[in-house]
Amino acid sequence: MGGFRWIPCASSKPVLQSRSWILLQMQTLATLRPRFAGPLNRSLLKTLSLRALSSSSSDYASQSLGGLPRFFSEVLPPSKGGIVHIQGDEFWHMSKVLRLSTNDRVELFNGKGGLIGGCIQRIDRCGLDFVALEDPKLVPTPGAYWHVFAAFGTLKGGRADWLVEKCTELGASSVTPLLTERSSSISENRVDRLQRVVLAATKQCQRLHEMILNPPMKIDGLLPLMGFPVVGGIVALVIPFYQLRVVPINIAQSKVCFVAVAEATPVVSALSLSGKECSGLIIVGPEGDFTKKEVEMMLEAGATAVGLGPLRLRVETATMALLSTLMLWSDSQQTSISTEPSCR
């Protein structure tokens, strides 16, 4: 065809174009420069430079930046050069799912703020050896402590898993299945499954302090936690690996308790009256809501009723709406008083 070629188009009919004409158009476009390209590019570079500076100013300041693959281990090497043996689900994830091999760099965390970087030294059929390439770091707990009490025992179709997963990702300190008149039980098999959901979500969102999944609690057991004043407290908790032990937590030190109630004062208005508290209890009822008697009991014990808008929300939706609002509120309060001690 000489200096011409066929170019197919959407209409399936060939279009005849001159090769020299196409080259001329490309050269013309290459010489064009957007009027505001220079200022925009400089502004963009300035923004990127600021982000890079702020990211490197403090190690692990943001747990959502990503980086090396991170895996859970109850035991961390005590120092650089230390070795721990990884087995079970984490070994399977590292070797079979991600297909990591010898000398690949990874990180281990213990769910209590401990973090250490290293590499895989040896792999066999039953596990692998991790060798630390640095000393372990201990990252302090965040300043916001919100404990979720939600009646999700009757939820079906993976909705309870979703609720627990998102509570973990949003930064809740703990989740407790709440037993009420309209949601009176939760199976032990489901609790075991939820423990695995918590661990997977913890790794996904890069948080270093694992969210605690408490045993189911009746409202009668919750009421003493709402009383004022309350000093200290120890609660028995179920933690990963199905071990029951007693650990101190901040639930009993909470000064604020919000319970989702239809047509109550909007949560934002209630927050403006609560001062700068960055910790407390979040209570969400079951499908069908709390009974009138249950609501009266919680309000008399010191809880504050808050509304989440004019629409009827599912248990998991209401929990996410309230937790998200409180976490963002806490973050804004801590930012505004960054020179003061963190909230407790």
Could you tell me whether strands 234-239 and 114-123 are parallel, antiparallel, or unpaired per DSSP bridges? unpaired
pLDDT (tens place) for every residue of the chain, 344 residues total: 444 444 444 444 444 444 555 555 555 544 444 443 344 344 433 433 333 323 333 444 444 455 889 999 999 999 999 999 999 999 999 999 999 999 999 999 999 999 999 999 999 999 999 999 999 999 988 777 899 999 998 888 899 999 999 999 999 999 999 999 988 888 777 888 899 999 999 998 999 999 999 989 998 888 877 654 333 333 333 333 333 333 334 455 567 889 999 889 899 888 877 767 778 899 999 988 999 999 999 998 888 999 999 999 999 999 999 999 999 888 887 766 555 555 54
Q: Is 128 exposed, middle or buried (0-12, 13-18, 19+ CB in 10 A)?
A: buried
- CA–CA gap between residue 275 and residue 277 (Å, rounded): 6
Task: Compute the mean pLDDT over every residue in the chain, rounded to the nearest whole number.
Answer: 76
Record the pTM: 0.70
pLDDT computed for residue 159 by the predictor: 92
C-alpha closest to that of 3 among 26, 24, 22, 20: 20
What sign results for the dihedral spanned by CA atoms 241, 247, 248, 254? positive
What is the radius of gyration, based on Cα positions, of the chain?
27
Give me the amino acid identity at 281: L
Question: What is the token pair recorded at 231?
Answer: 């000093």
- List helix spans (H) across 18-140: 19-31, 37-56, 88-92
- CA–CA gap between residue 213 and residue 147 (Å, rounded): 10
Which tens digit of pLDDT belongs to each residue from 294-315? 999 999 888 899 999 999 999 9
pLDDT computed for residue 213 by the predictor: 92
Number of alpha carbons in the 13 Å side-chain half-sphere of residue 215: 11
Which tens digit of pLDDT belongs to each residue from 103-142? 999 999 999 999 999 999 999 999 999 999 999 999 988 7
- CA–CA gap between residue 91 and residue 199 (Å, rounded): 14
163-192 in b/e form (b: 16+ CB < 10 A) is bbbbbbbbbbbbbbbbbbebbeebeeebbe
What sign results for the dihedral spanned by CA atoms 72, 76, 81, 86? negative
207 in Cβ contact with 168 (< 8 Å): yes
pLDDT computed for residue 54 by the predictor: 31
151 in Cβ contact with 178 (< 8 Å): yes
311 in Cβ contact with 120 (< 8 Å): no
Helix (H) or strand (E) segment spanning residue 144: none
Three-state secondary structure call for residue 80: coil
pLDDT computed for residue 270 by the predictor: 86
Identify any residues that bridge with 82 across adjacent strands, giving them in sequence order.
Answer: none
- List helix spans (H) across the chain: 19-31, 37-56, 88-92, 159-170, 188-205, 219-226, 267-272, 292-300, 315-336
- CA–CA gap between residue 301 and residue 159 (Å, rounded): 30
Question: What is the token pair recorded at 88?
Answer: 């079970």
pLDDT computed for residue 230 by the predictor: 35
- List helix spans (H) across 87-133: 88-92
